């Protein structure tokens, strides 16, 4: 059996292509490009790299991009005031606050993120968007799990009627992944740190999603032969060495399809963000 390697680069290219076409369409129709504002507070080097990548992707696709750099000592009130102004700004359709926040405002993270208008919440974290996901209504969905689902669709990997297991129950990946798979008629089990007989459960999965942040946690004996394995984890185990939550070399001998790390799911996140920005613009224009 030849294992299919699901390279993120190819899927991300298709996502971006779709977003670029939509952006051009909306510019033609509404006389303005979709707009994304990214707020970065402080000078976290990793955050700066992520923000640069987002800005570059916007430029490539004809999406208007504003990077708002605020000083490390920014107060909660100052940050919220900036979000309020962007909520009212008609040329901004998506707002994103880059995490992590500096320590003096980190405790207020939920309050700050919830200040973003749900229709501009391109991260899909606002309780209104979470509620829409749970009830099956149209809304903005977190980029990483949305990208994973779109990848499965483009790869022609069936979800309907399949058994899916998600390892991890975070609000960013695990929980939304559960709801997205369920919406596509998969039978879904969520496993976490209190799950008993984990390997027994994962060996039953046609689709296995690992999102726990533990290097090489999923081993070959935990995987059903021929299963599709999606590795969401990114773990730095040396200055220049990244690995996923799945032991790739072991598991690729068993799986039918698998995402690598690096070069897999990570590339889908920014590409899916671009799709969320054009979708947010469409939603807002329909409301006017």
| pLDDT computed for residue 275 by the predictor | 97
Other CB atoms within 10 Å distance of the CB of residue 153: 13
Q: What is the pLDDT of residue 287?
A: 86
pLDDT at residue 240 in the model: 83
* Model pLDDT, residue 238: 84
What pLDDT does 288 receive?
Answer: 77
Q: What is the spatial distance between Cα 231 and Cα 251, in angstroms, rounded to a whole number? A: 11
* C-alpha closest to that of 171 among 221, 111, 218, 211: 211
Tens of each residue's pLDDT in the chain, 288 residues? 699 999 999 999 999 999 999 999 999 999 999 999 999 999 999 899 999 999 999 999 999 999 999 999 999 999 999 999 999 999 999 999 999 999 999 999 999 999 999 999 999 999 999 999 999 999 999 999 999 999 999 999 999 999 999 999 999 999 999 999 999 999 999 999 999 999 999 999 999 999 999 999 999 999 999 999 999 999 988 888 989 999 999 999 999 999 999 999 999 999 999 999 999 999 999 987
Longest dimension (CA), the chain: 58
- Would you please indicate which residues are annotated as catalytic (active-site) residues? 54, 98, 123
Q: Are 209 and 189 in contact (CB under 8 A)?
A: no
Architecture category of domain 32-117 in CATH: 3-Layer(aba) Sandwich (3.40)
Contact 40, 65 (CB under 8 A): no
pTM of the model: 0.93
Nearest-CA neighbor of 276 among 127, 94, 38? 94
Give ranges for CATH 3.40.50.10860 in the chain.
Answer: 32-117
Q: Report which of 51, 15, 14, 16 is spatially closest to residue 36, judged by C-alpha positions.
A: 51
Q: Outline which parts of the chain fall under CATH 3.40.50.720.
A: 143-267
E runs forming strands in 181-263: 187-191, 207-210, 228-231, 235-238, 241-243, 257-258
CATH of domain 143-267: 3.40.50.720
Which residues, 6 or more positions from 177, have their beta carbon under 8 angstroms from its beta carbon?
145, 148, 149, 166, 209, 211
Confidence at residue 237, expressed as pLDDT on a 0 to 100 scale: 85
């Amino acid at each position: 059996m030849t294992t299919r390697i699901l390279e993120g680069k190819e899927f991300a290219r298709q996502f971006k292509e779709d977003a670029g076409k939509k952006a051009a369409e909306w510019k033609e129709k509404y006389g303005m490009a979709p707009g994304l504002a990214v707020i970065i507070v402080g000078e976290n080097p990793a955050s700066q790299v992520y923000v640069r990548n987002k800005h570059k992707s916007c430029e490539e696709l004809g999406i208007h991009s504003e990077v708002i750099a605020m000083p490390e000592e920014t107060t909660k009130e100052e940050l919220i005031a900036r979000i309020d102004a962007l909520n009212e700004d008609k040329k901004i359709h998506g707002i994103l606050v880059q995490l992590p926040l500096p320590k003096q405002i980190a405790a207020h993270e939920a309050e700050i993120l919830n200040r973003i208008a749900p229709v501009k919440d391109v991260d899909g974290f606002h309780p209104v968007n979470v509620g829409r996901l749970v009830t099956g209504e149209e809304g903005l969905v977190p980029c990483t799990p949305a990208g994973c689902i779109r990848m499965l669709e483009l790869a022609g990997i069936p979800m309907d009627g399949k058994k899916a297991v998600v390892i991890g129950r975070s609000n960013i990946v695990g929980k939304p992944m559960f709801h997205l798979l369920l919406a596509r008629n998969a039978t879904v089990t969520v496993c976490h740190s209190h799950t008993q007989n984990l390997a027994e459960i994962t060996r039953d999965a046609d689709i296995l999603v690992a999102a726990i942040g533990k290097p090489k946690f999923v081993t070959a004996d935990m995987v059903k032969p021929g299963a599709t394995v999606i590795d969401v984890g990114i773990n730095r185990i040396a200055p220049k060495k990244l690995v996923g939550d799945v032991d790739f070399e072991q598991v690729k001998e068993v799986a039918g399809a698998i995402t690598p790390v690096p070069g897999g799911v990570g590339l889908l996140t920014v590409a899916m963000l671009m799709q969320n920005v054009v979708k947010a613009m469409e939603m807002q224009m329909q409301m006017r």
